[in-house]
Structure 1
């Protein structure tokens, strides 16, 4: 696997040459800002799809960066019953609430799995790691 900027010269250059299959025309009705969010939104949608999450399931998303926040929005649209988000940044947790996550936690809190179990009675059905740190992974596994 690879992408422009990792396995070849990056796209921050003024000009870049790529294979034709890597280029997709955005509709005239779509702004460049909307076009820019298509790929990260697809990552979030794919994560929820691959998780098997269904309407009524509960989900913990660790990491409230762009991918985590988009995953919150996909979980809301999919009909999650409880959405939990953990992150180190208070600003990102505030944004997570704004986009649909009613339950947020400071990722440094060691009691997140127990707090989730108090709310759900059993833990979460789905865990999505959008942080990529061992501590967030451990919290997620212990919250299932």
Structure 2
């Protein structure tokens, strides 16, 4: 019975979009939003399929969705910077308290942070949603709702490339050409990377990487991690100073260590098994710095400015669109790995980008 009940809850992760719930009332420092566009993330699919990610376990029906934008329709009594009619991008992580991490400006590391669609916190794949006004950012007129929703994955790329230290002239290896790998390509090139090489299993995703600015691509087949690293070096003419690993796959992490130049930096973005075997001594004796990232912080204003100025174009990442009523079909599409970014349209009167 326990297994069946859990499976029932997991199914509700998707089917809850058909459940009628009361329209929430915003608190003093909150806004009520009519949702417009919500992107499907790999973590959403993982919760749907497995009911957990690491220590975050689904115990009750959960609303998914954290890549989102919408329109303000009501503001709380304490809100002054937003008004009804404003189009906004939503930062899904909201600190619940001003702890040591908030004081350091690294609020993403706060252990008590609210985060959309991470148990037990509901996400925003729904018609109406309330959120902290301080974490809703007004969109310029020339930035679409879909671009606003894509600020979330774009923020992962910004945070990763900041942590990596990408700068003018950097030679960068991006492992994985899924949505997160692709936004890292976009951000690395915008930050001044001279050359970016991308690896993946999928030829179509590598083609998309080339279209958005990757200089070289490698389709991985049966190569060992050392062989992949050798191919990266051969294409670049040297070992990259920076590797951004976006898959979480053990062999890819190994390839990232072998590929990175001595004294360089490997940033782990993809999340895989809790325990992996890696050539840690190889990294240690060559002083390869290994850094992790957890979501992002202080990125929304920068991301929106980049979109508004057209310095970064995320529009090609959206390959599929579905109305909210077809959420299950949208999730199945994402699960099969079709396209790049699947977008759900929550406003029945407006399915435009």
Are 1:112 and 1:139, in contact at CA under 8 Å, matched by a contact in 2?
yes
Give the match for residue 125 of structure 1.
Answer: 241
SS in 2 for 1:18: strand
Deviation string 1:99-119 (CA, Å, 9 cap, x unpaired) is 111211123333221122223
Which is richer in strand?
A: 2
For structure 2, the residue ranges without an aligned partner over 5 or more in a row are 1-112, 261-353
Deviation string 1:13-32 (CA, Å, 9 cap, x unpaired) is 23333333333332344221
SS in 2 for 1:34: helix
Distance 1:100 1:27 in 2: 25
Question: TM-score, normalization: structure 2?
Answer: 0.38
Alpha-carbon RMSD across the aligned residues, in angstroms, is 1.8
Give the match for residue 32 of structure 1.
Answer: 145
- Given candidates 121, 125, 129, the residue that maps to 1:12 is 125
Are 1:107 and 1:136, in contact at CA under 8 Å, matched by a contact in 2?
no
Structure 1 residues 114 and 32, CA, compared in 2 at 3 Å: closer, same or farther? Answer: same
- 1:2 Cα shift? 4.9
* Higher Rg: 2
Describe how 1:35-74 pairs up with structure 2 within 5 A.
Answer: 35-74=148-187
Distance 2:189 2:135 in 1: 30
- Kindly report structure 1 stretches of 4+ aligned residues shifted beyond 6 Å: none
Question: TM-score, normalization: structure 1?
Answer: 0.87
Structure 1 residues 77 and 25, CA, compared in 2 at 3 Å: closer, same or farther? Answer: closer
- Given candidates 86, 89, 104, the residue that maps to 2:199 is 86
For these two proteins, the number of residue pairs brought into alignment is 144
Give the match for residue 139 of structure 1.
Answer: 255
Structure 1 residues 30 and 57, CA, compared in 2 at 3 Å: closer, same or farther? Answer: closer
For structure 1, the residue ranges without an aligned partner over 5 or more in a row are none
Are 1:68 and 1:130, in contact at CA under 8 Å, matched by a contact in 2?
yes
Are 1:85 and 1:101, in contact at CA under 8 Å, matched by a contact in 2?
yes
